Amino acid sequence: MTVLYIIISAILFYFVIRYGIRDGMVETEANKDKLIHMQKSNDLFGDISRIYFNLPRSKNEKNLEEAKKIYDDSLDMILSENDSKDIFAVLTKNKEKISVLDNQN
What integer pLDDT is reported at residue 49 of this predicted model? 93
The reported pTM is: 0.71
Per-residue H/E/C for the chain: CHHHHHHHHHHHHHHHHHHHHHHHHHHHHHCHHHHHHHHHHHHHHHHHHHHHHHCCCCCCHHHHHHHHHHHHHHHHHHHCCCCHHHHHHHHHHHHHHHHHHHHHC
Q: Residue 14: pLDDT above 70?
A: yes
What integer pLDDT is reported at residue 58 of this predicted model? 66
| pLDDT tens sequence across 80-99 | 989 888 999 999 999 999 99
Q: Residue 105: pLDDT above 80?
A: no
Residue ranges of domains in the chain: 1-30, 32-104
Looking at residues 72-78, what average pLDDT do you find?
93
Q: Residue 31: pLDDT above 90?
A: no
| pLDDT tens sequence across 34-70 | 889 899 999 999 999 999 998 887 677 888 889 999 9
Q: Closest by alpha carbon to 82, among 94, 93, 91, 70?
A: 91
